[in-house]
Amino acid sequence: MEKSLKRMATMQRMQAKGLELFYSKGYYNTSVDDVLKELSMSKGAFYYHFDSKEDFFIQIVQNLLARKVYSTLIEPIEGHENPIWNITKCFEDVLESAVNNEMDFGCLLSNFLSEFNGRNETIMKHLNDILSIWEVNLVYALQKGKSNDHLDRHVDCEAVATYLMSAYFGVRTLMAGASPSARKYRFMGQLKQYFRLIEAKNVTV
């Protein structure tokens, strides 16, 4: 048991460092040696835990990236009647976190989707699975909002979900440049304006 726990802790430490490097430098610009140098580990130790660099990255996606997306973008909007209030608060919180995170280079999922598109079908499948789960949960929350008379009955929930995901990826990319706080403030103002257009007219957010 102790040996198993130690191995799990080692793998978690390796994955956390790997994610940091892949995020900041890109997957194709980061070698196994780069990871090992940061961790002061031998190549033998790496291949004891992982079959390859690709296997290492896929486990990072499954264990760290999927969990991060769920905790920041999916869980906050689950189980609530009014999707407008909850999506607004969810975006406000996650964008504020990005403003205050010096290690934030944009959006993890968006960055990796761009990097692997057309270059690695296996990894793209894992990334698209996360994207699909987020999209399904957004659509479900919006549909529930229509049923509860928080959204106008003519709203196309699939289209709104696509817009929200695209807008989120876009502002996170812009926030990686100058004035992240100001960009976040302007984005949230327009998001609230957009929601006012699609909410049921007898509802106040």
CATH of the domain at 139: 1.10.357.10
180 part of a folded domain? yes
Is residue 119 located within the same domain as residue 88? yes
**Percentage of the residues of the chain whose pLDDT score is greater than 70:** 94
Long-range contacts of 176-180 (CB under 8 A, 24+ apart): 176/104, 176/105, 176/106, 180/98, 180/99
- For 51, phi and psi rounded to 5 degrees? -75, -30
pLDDT at 100: 85
Is residue 136 located within the same domain as residue 193? yes
pLDDT, the chain, mean: 92
**What domain range includes position 33?**
1-50
17 part of a folded domain? yes
Domain CATH code at residue 1 = 1.10.10.60
Q: How many domains, the chain?
A: 2
29 part of a folded domain? yes
Is residue 21 located within the same domain as residue 88? no
Question: Which distant-in-sequence residues (6+ apart) come within 8 Å of 194 by Cβ?
Answer: 163
pLDDT at 199: 95
Distance CA 24, CA 111 (A): 10
203 part of a folded domain? no
- Over residues 188-204, the mean pLDDT reads 88
Confidence band of 2 (pLDDT split at 50, 70, 90):
low
204 part of a folded domain? no
pLDDT at 39: 93
pLDDT at 5: 77
Please, is 32 exposed, middle or buried when counting C-beta atoms within 10 Å of its C-beta (0-12, 13-18, 19+)?
middle
- Over residues 27-38, the mean pLDDT reads 95
Is residue 140 located within the same domain as residue 176? yes
Is residue 39 located within the same domain as residue 108? no
Is residue 143 located within the same domain as residue 131? yes
Which tens digits make up the pLDDT trace of 60-105?
Answer: 999 999 999 999 999 999 988 899 999 999 999 999 999 987 566 5
Is residue 79 located within the same domain as residue 114? yes
105 part of a folded domain? yes
111-145: b or e for each residue (b if 16 or more CB lie within 10 Å)? bbbebbeeebeebbebbbebbeebbebbbebbbbb
Most trustworthy range by pLDDT among 51-55, 105-109, 176-180: 51-55
Question: Which distant-in-sequence residues (6+ apart) come within 8 Å of 23 by Cβ?
Answer: 103, 105, 108, 111
Is residue 37 located within the same domain as residue 128? no
66-86: b or e for each residue (b if 16 or more CB lie within 10 Å)? beebbebbbebbeebebbbbb
Is residue 81 located within the same domain as residue 159? yes
174 part of a folded domain? yes
Is residue 35 located within the same domain as residue 72? no
Q: What is the pTM of this model?
A: 0.90
Higher pLDDT, 182 or 6: 182
Is residue 93 located within the same domain as residue 41? no
Which tens digits make up the pLDDT trace of 142-178?
Answer: 999 999 999 999 999 999 999 999 999 999 999 988 8
Is residue 138 located within the same domain as residue 179? yes
Distance CA 162, CA 154 (A): 16
